[in-house]
């Protein structure tokens, strides 16, 4: 297989979307996946999500466009992605998971592709539907998101060589781990702020005295 964005990587990604079980297995064992490609997919998902919020037609879209911020949402999606991968990795390391951080990143990143496609498709379809046809729009998005979630689930299951039950258990623990990580980050930023304040007050004290 070629470099990060080679033609093989792209076509293998689409193969994985249609054959998740098989695809993720070889991603783990033969390095058929590509982390930069997965990250690109996450970025594209963020863009398509924002585009849907901004450009879906007036009939289906009740959002205030002033409240949508592309950059902010990109940062949010990326940090959520990072949090999910790291917390899953830290749990599965302790629970005999075979997957590397790299594999988890690919499993989750490729899982966003159906969601991206559906976001783009539904944004286009929303331009031609009326109020009483909103159900189609809703179902389309629902199916896309469900497919993406199933893909992520299968991906995590395959890269770690878990059973379904164990996957669900680790996902639950992943959620707990994510909460702990967030808590620690808050604690860390708070402490760093205190340290900064300490040195800052020393600095101001010196300035006033000298």
Partner 1 sequence: MRKLTKFKAVISLCLTLIVLLTTEGITAMADELPYDSYNYDYREYIHYTPAPYIPSRTVSGLDFTYNGEALGAFKTPQDMCLAENGDIYIADTGNNRIVILDNAMKNVKKVITTFNNNGEEDKFNSPYGVCVSERGWLYVADMKNKRVVVLDENENVMQIIENPQSESLDDGFVFSPMKVTVDYADRVYVIAQNMFEGIMVFESNGQFTNFFGTINVEISAWDKFWKRLATKEERANQQLFIPTEFTGIDIDPEGFVYASNIDATGVQGVRRLNPRGEDVIKKGANANVGGDLLIDGTSDYSGASQFTDVVYRDNGIYSCLDRKRGRIFTYDHEGNLLYIFGGLGTQEGTFTLAAAVEDIGGKIAVLDATKANIICFEETEYGRLINEAVSLRYDGDEAEAVAIWERVLELDENNELANTGIGKAYLTAGDYEKAMHYLEIGMARDYYSIAFKRFRNQVLTENLSWILTGIMVLAVAWFGFKAYKKKKKGEDD
Binding site for partner 1 (CB under 8 A): 58-59, 62, 64, 66, 128, 130-132
- For the purposes of burial, counting CB atoms within 10 Å of the CB of 94, is it exposed (0-12), middle (13-18) or buried (19 or more)? exposed
132 vs 210, which CB is nearer to partner 1?
Answer: 132
Packing angle of the helix pair 101-125, 7-18 (nearest 10 deg): 80
In whole angstroms, the minimum distance from the beta carbon of 63 to partner 1 comes to 10
Shortest distance (Å) from residue 94 CB to partner 1: 37
Task: Compute CA 179 distance to the chain's CA centroid, rounded to the nearest angstrom.
Answer: 16
Q: Where are the beta strands (DSSP E) in 31-174?
A: none
Distance CA 131, CA 147 (A): 26
CB of 61 to partner 1, least distance (A): 9
- Which of residues 31 and 133 has its CB atom nearest to partner 1 in the complex? 133
Among the listed residues 89, 76, 65, 50, the one whose alpha carbon sits nearest the alpha carbon of residue 170: 89
**What backbone phi and psi angles, to 5 degrees, belong to 61?**
-110, 110
**Least distance from C-beta 130 to partner 1, angstroms?**
4
Radius of gyration of the chain (CA): 21
Which residue number, 127 or 189, has a Cβ lying nearer to partner 1?
127
Least distance between partner 1 and beta carbon 62 (Å): 8
Closest CB to partner 1 among 61 and 90?
A: 61
Residue 31 or 69: the one with the smaller Cβ distance to partner 1 is 69
């Amino acid at each position: 297989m070629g470099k990060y964005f080679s033609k093989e990587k792209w076509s293998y990604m689409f193969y994985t979307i249609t054959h998740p079980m098989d695809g993720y297995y070889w991603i783990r064992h033969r390095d058929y996946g590509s982390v930069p490609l997965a990250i690109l997919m996450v970025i594209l998902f963020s863009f398509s999500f924002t585009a849907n919020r901004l450009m879906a037609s007036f009939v289906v879209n009740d959002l205030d466009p002033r409240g949508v911020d592309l950059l902010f949402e990109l940062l949010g999606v990326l940090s959520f992605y990072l949090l999910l991968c790291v917390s899953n990795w830290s749990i599965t390391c302790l629970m005999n998971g075979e997957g590397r951080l790299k594999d988890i990143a690919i499993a989750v990143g490729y899982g966003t592709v159906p969601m991206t496609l559906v976001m783009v498709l539904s944004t286009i379809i929303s331009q031609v539907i009326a109020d009483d046809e909103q159900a189609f729009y809703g179902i389309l998005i629902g199916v896309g998101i469900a497919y993406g979630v199933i893909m992520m689930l299968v991906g995590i299951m395959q890269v770690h060589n878990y059973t379904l039950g164990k996957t669900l258990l680790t996902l639950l623990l992943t959620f707990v781990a994510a909460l702990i990580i967030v808590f620690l980050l808050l604690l860390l930023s708070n402490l760093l702020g205190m340290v900064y304040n300490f040195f800052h007050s020393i600095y101001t004290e010196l300035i006033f005295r000298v």
